Each structure stands twice: as structure tokens, then as C-alpha cells.
Amino acid sequence: LVWRFGLEEIDGSVQDIYAKEFKRRIEEKSAGQVTVDIYSYGTLGESEDLTTLTSLGTLQMTHASVGIIGSLVPEMQVFNIPYIFSQDDKLNQSVLTNNTTLYEVVGNALIDQDLRLMTFYLEGDMVWSTNTEIVKPDDFKGFRMRVMNSPLVIESFSVYGADTIPLPYSQVYGALQANIIDGQSNPVFSIEEMKFYEVTEYMIWPGKQKFTTSVIANQAWYLSLSAEHKVLLRDTFEEMSDFIFEKQQALNKAQLTKIKEFKPNMTFITLTRAQQNAFRKFSVPIRERYVELAGQPGERLLKALDEAFGNKK
Ligand code: 6CS
């Protein structure tokens, strides 16, 4: 059997590290019965195409980041709400791996698209890499921010007054270089491997915003698997949670050191708590928009996650 697995990222990325280890474990445990073929970013089109190819059964599985799949499955956009996560990444990881309401609500929404939710995991803290200093919402006025093409990501920057420009991942570097956009948001490892640091001057940590991805599968394919293979998948995805948590932490740390070395004049800013609070005030209309887009199941999910992350009213 061959299981084809799609990635939204290039070789060396968090998704690549994940897929290679997943392949190794599945092939070893299935004793040669299953081969996992990995398709890196770019080999099968843009990120959105991977979801379509998985619904069609061309791919059996793919990564689907919440900012990418959010226009198709609005419920997934809950993780694009700024400041939804906890400060404690171990707690964040466990909610993403086990929360019952999360798997129920998102699982049901995906089934409507012939897709099946396999897992969620974190890829790192979101960092704004920009050409001007941004420390208060007003600094976004007239700022041309590249966004992933999902309504809530667009909303989450337009509420600050930014001009939002949706662009595929592969076009972000060129757009920064040609001065078509003023900045973008991604984890450190991505800013290093996509070379965004070469064409931006500031790296700004807004706090408590995480790049979140999922692995989804073709539902008909999954249902056709033997009981033994379903267990193999369930156990492997569960084991991968701790593996990737440590790997993404280490990779983001290592790539930050590299950026500091390659670009000594980069300015690094972490928003203070007071600065974060000024941005956090805008979460209210963003949350309302989420509920508008994701309806009653979304509202239930938002409530469950606020509880799980220990967010106060
Ligand atoms: O910014 C993006 O579009 C992409 N960023 C990452 C880190 N992974 C995939 C996603 O498409």
C-alpha cells in the first residue's frame, strides 16, 4: 500500500520533520506493508490545492494549516483568534492533541467535505516580520500586511486598520522584495527557511499567537482501511504529538540563532503586557466575527477552548 502525504512547507520545515518521522514509524510498524510517499510544498500546487487533492483521494493525507483551510472549514479558524492560546505551551499542546469538543466540532465539519481530522499540532509562535516598527494597533494604519487567505486572518489584521493582502506562501518573498507588502506573519523557522528575514527589518512577537496546523485525510480512504491500520494511524498520530512538540521548539530556537548571525542589524521586539493588552481589545470583534462565520458549533468550540486554555471572561 502507498499512502501519499502532502506538505505545505519545504524540506527542513516543521511539517517536513513531522512527515519524515511519521513515514519512518508507519513503515517500520507495518513491517513493509505500507509505504508513505511525501509531497513537499510546490510539487502539487499551492497549499489550498492539497486539501482539494485530499478530498478527491489523489492524496490520502495532507497538512492543512488553519489559516489555509479556514475559508473551506470556518470552524478551524478558532485558532486564528489572537490571544486565544494559553501562555503554557504544554497546555496548548495537550488541548490540540486531546480536546473532545475540538475533535467533535472540527471532525464533523470536515466530514461534510469528505475529509477526516487526524490531528492538530503547534509549529511555533507567530512573529510579525515587517519593514516598520509595530508596537500599537495604530501602527498598522495603512500597513500592507500579507495574510493567508482565510476570512478570520484577514479580519484579525484589518481590525487594526491594516490593508490586508492575501498571497500564496511562495509569493511572499518576492512581494516583500518588490515592496508590494510591508510585512507578514509566520513562525521563526519559516522566516529563516523562506528567507523573509532578508527582506524585512523587524521581528515582532505579539504574544500568545501560535501557528497551528492539522493533518487531515480522505474520509472514504480512511473508512476503507483495515481495523489494524486504523489503530496504527491512531497510535502513530498520538505518539507524534510529543515528538513534534520538542522538534518545533528546537528548530525555532536554532533558526533564531541563525537569523541573528546572518542579519546582525535585525530589530527584535517582544510586545510588553501593556502593549499586548491594546491589541487584545480588538479580539472582541474578531471573536464575534468567528461566531458569525462558524455558527453554533463554532460558538460551542470557542467556549470549550476558552475554558481549556483558562481564559478569563
Ligand atoms: O504562511 C503560509 O502561508 C504558510 N506558513 C507556514 C509556516 N506553513 C504553511 C503555510 O501555508
pLDDT digits (tens, 9 = 90+) for 220-260: 999 999 999 999 999 999 999 999 999 999 999 999 999 99
- What number does the ligand 1 atom closest to the CA of 190 have? 7
Q: Are residues 97 and 12 in the same domain?
A: yes
Of 163-172, 241-250, 304-313, which gets the smallest average pLDDT?
Answer: 304-313
Q: Output the ligand 1 site: residues, CB below 6 A.
A: 8-9, 47, 65, 68, 123, 148, 169, 186-187, 190, 211
Residue 313 has pLDDT above 80, yes or no: no
What value does the mean pLDDT take over residues 113-130? 98
Distances (CA, A) of 183 to 60, 97, 167, 206: 34, 31, 12, 14
Tell me: do 10 and 137 sit in the same domain: no
Q: What is the mean pLDDT of residues 189-215?
A: 97
Query: What confidence tier does 12 reach under pLDDT thresholds 50, 70, 90?
Result: very high
Chain CA centroid to CA 115, Å: 18
pLDDT at 15 over 80: yes
Task: Give exposure, 40-72, as e/b (b: 16+ Cβ within 10 Å).
Answer: bbeebeebbbbbebbbeebbbbbbbbbbbbbbb
The pLDDT tens digits of the residues spanning 20-34 come to 999 999 999 999 999
Contact 68, 47 (CB under 8 A): yes
2-15: average pLDDT? 98
170 and 269 housed in the same domain: yes
Same domain for 10 and 117, yes or no, is yes
Q: Which helix (H) or strand (E) holds 37?
A: strand 35-39
The DSSP code for 271 is -
Q: Ligand 1 pocket test: which of 148, 156, 193, 196 has the largest number of ligand atoms within 8 Å of its C-beta?
A: 148
Q: List C-alpha distances in Å: 239 to 12, 232, 233.
A: 21, 11, 10
Q: Are residues 43 and 175 in the same domain?
A: no
Host domain of residue 66: 2-122+212-254
In the reported structure, the alpha carbon of residue 18 is separated from the centroid of ligand 1 by a whole-number distance in angstroms of 15
Whether 292 and 166 share a structural domain: yes
Question: What is the grid cell recorded at 301?
Answer: 468550540
Characterise 161 by phi-psi region: left (phi > 0), alpha (psi -120 to 50), beta (else): left
User: Both 91 and 239 in a single domain?
Assistant: yes
Protein residue whose Cα sits closest to atom 1 of ligand 1: 169
pLDDT tier at 166 (50, 70, 90 boundaries)? very high
Ligand 1 atom with least separation from CA of 13? 7
Which atom, in ligand 1's list, is nearest to the CA of 168?
A: 3
The alpha carbon of 144 and the centre of ligand 1 are apart by a number of angstroms equal to: 18
Statement to judge: residues 24 and 110 lie in one domain? yes
Per-residue pLDDT averaged across 1-18, rounded?
98
Rounded distance, CA 76 to CA 293, Å? 10
Q: Is 18 left (phi over 0), alpha (psi -120 to 50) or beta?
A: alpha
Whether residue 144 is found in the same domain as residue 217: no
Mean pLDDT estimate for the chain = 97
Task: Please tell me whether residues 6 and 86 are part of one structural domain.
Answer: yes
Q: Is 110 exposed, middle or buried (0-12, 13-18, 19+ CB in 10 A)?
A: buried
Domain total in the chain? 2
Q: Are residues 166 and 283 in the same domain?
A: yes
CA distance 201 to 266: 5
Q: What distance in angstroms lies between residue 187's CA and the mean position of ligand 1's atoms? A: 9
Considering Cα of 214, then 219, then 225, then 230, what sign does the dihedral take? positive
Mutate-to-test residue for ligand 1 from 13, 49, 63, 65, highest number of ligand atoms within 8 A of CB:
65
Distance 213 CA to ligand 1 centre (A): 9
Give me ligand 1 centre to Cα 123, in Å: 10
Nearest to 205 by CA among 265, 126, 282: 126
Q: Whose CA is nearest to atom 10 of ligand 1?
A: 8
The dihedrals phi and psi of 260, each to the nearest 5 degrees, come to -60, -35
Cβ atoms 181, 144 nearer than 8 A: yes
C-alpha cell at 281: 481589545
Distance of alpha carbon 73 from alpha carbon 149, whole angstroms: 12
Atom 2 of ligand 1, nearest CA residue: 169
How close is the Cα of 226 to the center of ligand 1, in Å? 33
Q: Is 84 helix (H, G, I), strand (E, B) or coil?
A: coil
Do 273 and 217 reside in the same domain of the chain? no
Cα distance between residue 198 and residue 276, in whole Å = 26
Identify the CATH number of the domain in which residue 187 sits. 3.40.190.170
Q: Return the pLDDT at 312.
A: 84
What pLDDT was estimated at residue 40?
A: 96
- pLDDT (mean) for 31-44: 96
